[in-house]
Chains A and B, each alone.
Chain A
C-alpha cells in the first residue's frame, strides 16, 4: 500500500517538474506546447478513493497554474476530466472496467488510444477556451486545442509505453 502512495507522490512531483521546466518551453512552431501532466490523471489507479483522486487532480492543475501564471485554468480542466474519467473508462474498456481489473499496460493499444484521445481533447478544449475566454475566437480555440492535443497524445503514449512494466 505504501508503495503505491509513494509512487503517486513521486509521479505528482515528477509530472509537475516535467511540465513546467520542459514541456511548457518547447513552443513547437511558435506556440504549440503539450500538457503532458494529464498523464497523471489518465493513469491514476482505477481502484481509488474518488474524493481523493478529484482533489489530487485539482491540486495538480492548480500547481501547474501557479507555475505558469494562468489563474485557475488547468485546475478547472483537470478536475473536470478527473470527475468524468469513470465514464470514459467504461466506454473505452467496457467489461474489463466493470470487474475493476484494468491494468493500463495490459489493455489493447487501440482502446488505450481512444481513452487517451477523448480525455486529452476534453481537457485541452477546456484549457484553451478558458485561456482565450473570447467567444469571437472560437476557431482559434479549436485550432490551438487540436494542435496541442495531438502533441500531448503522442507524448503521453510514448511515456506510457516507456514507463509501463512489461508483463513478459
Chain B
C-alpha cells in the first residue's frame, strides 16, 4: 500500500494528466453519439448570456438584409392569403396543429462535422426537445437540448442528423443526412434505383415524423449517383437555406406531439 502511494506521489503529474485526458476523451466519445451529450453545452446560462451580449452587438450589421428577408416572406404570406378563395377568418379560438415561435440564433457553426446552433428561447418559452427549427426558406434542424432560457439545435449540418424527407414530384421518401463536407450540400439516401430523378427536383419534408409538418421546403437535387451495391441512390441535395447566415428562425411545436409519442410508445 505504501509503495502504491509512493508511486502515485512520484508520478503525480502523469497520473493527473492521464485522469484529465481520459475525462476529455470520454466526453468526446459521448458527444459523438446522438442525444448523449447531457453534460455542459452551449445552451447553459453563462455561455448563453455571453453569446447573447455578443449577438446584441453584431445583429445590427445584418439588419438591412434581415429586413429584406422578412419583407419577402411577408409578401409571400400575403399573396397566399389573398389568393385563397374562402379565406380563413382570423380567430383566436382557432386551433392550430402547429405553433410557431420566432427566435434569434445566438451561435451557429457550419465548419465542423458536428454542428449545433444556440437559440435564445428555452423552457420558459415552452420549447422542448424534438421541436423542429426552420427559416422562411427551409429547414434548419431539431432542438436537442434546452435550458431555462436557451436551447441547442442539432443542425442538419451534423453527421448525426437524420431527417425524413421525400421527393415532391413522386412522393418517394428517404433519409436526409450530411457527410460533413460542404455546408451547402446534404445527402439523401434510401431512394430506390427505379425512381426517376432529374437534377433540380425539389425535396420537401415528408411529415412522417412529428417534428416537421409535411411539404416544408428542403432543397433541390444537385447531382445523384448509385451506392456501392447499386440498388439505392445517393442524392446530393442543395439546400434552400444559406446555413452560413442564419439570424431569425422559427421553432415549430406540433401540438399533437404528446399524443403521437404516446401512440408510438404503446406500439413498442
Please tell me if the beta carbons of B244 and A27 are within 8 angstroms of each other in the complex: yes
Chain A residue nearest to B43 in the complex (CB) = A69
8 contacts between A and B (CB under 8 A): A24-B109, A33-B111, A51-B13, A55-B16, A67-B51, A71-B37, A72-B23, A73-B28
Q: Does A138 contact B (CB under 8 A)?
A: no
Contact (A75, B42) CB under 8 Å given A27-B244, A69-B152: no
Q: Does B50 contact A (CB under 8 A)?
A: yes
A residues at B contact (CB < 8 Å): 17, 20-21, 24, 27, 30-33, 50-51, 54-55, 58, 61-62, 65-73, 75-76, 79-80, 82-83, 130-133
A55 partner residues in chain B, CB cutoff 8 A = 16, 20
Among residues 112 to 132 in chain B, which have CB atoms less than 8 Å away from a CB atom of chain A?
A: 112-114, 116
B residues at A contact (CB < 8 Å): 12-14, 16-17, 20-21, 23-32, 37, 40-42, 44, 47, 50-51, 54, 107, 109-114, 116, 152, 180, 183, 244
Number of A-B contacts (CB under 8 A): 102
Question: Closest 5 A-B residue pairs measured CB to CB?
Answer: A71-B31, A72-B27, A76-B24, A75-B24, A72-B24
Please tell me if the beta carbons of A76 and B28 are within 8 angstroms of each other in the complex: yes
Docked CA distance A20–B12 (Å): 32
- Majority secondary structure of chain A interface residues (helix, strand, loop or mixed): helix
Residue of A62, A68, A69, A72 with most chain B CB atoms under a 10 A cut-off: A69
Chain B residue nearest to A57 in the complex (CB) = B20
Please tell me if the beta carbons of B20 and A70 are within 8 angstroms of each other in the complex: no
Of A31, A68, A71, the residue contacting B30 (CB under 8 A) is A71
Residue of B16, B109, B111 with most chain A CB atoms under a 10 A cut-off: B111
Please tell me if the beta carbons of B24 and A62 are within 8 angstroms of each other in the complex: yes
Chain B residue nearest to A22 in the complex (CB) = B54
Chain B residue nearest to A78 in the complex (CB) = B24
Please tell me if the beta carbons of A66 and B112 are within 8 angstroms of each other in the complex: no
Please tell me if the beta carbons of A75 and B109 are within 8 angstroms of each other in the complex: no
B107 partner residues in chain A, CB cutoff 8 A = 67
A69 partner residues in chain B, CB cutoff 8 A = 31, 37, 41-42, 109, 114, 116, 152
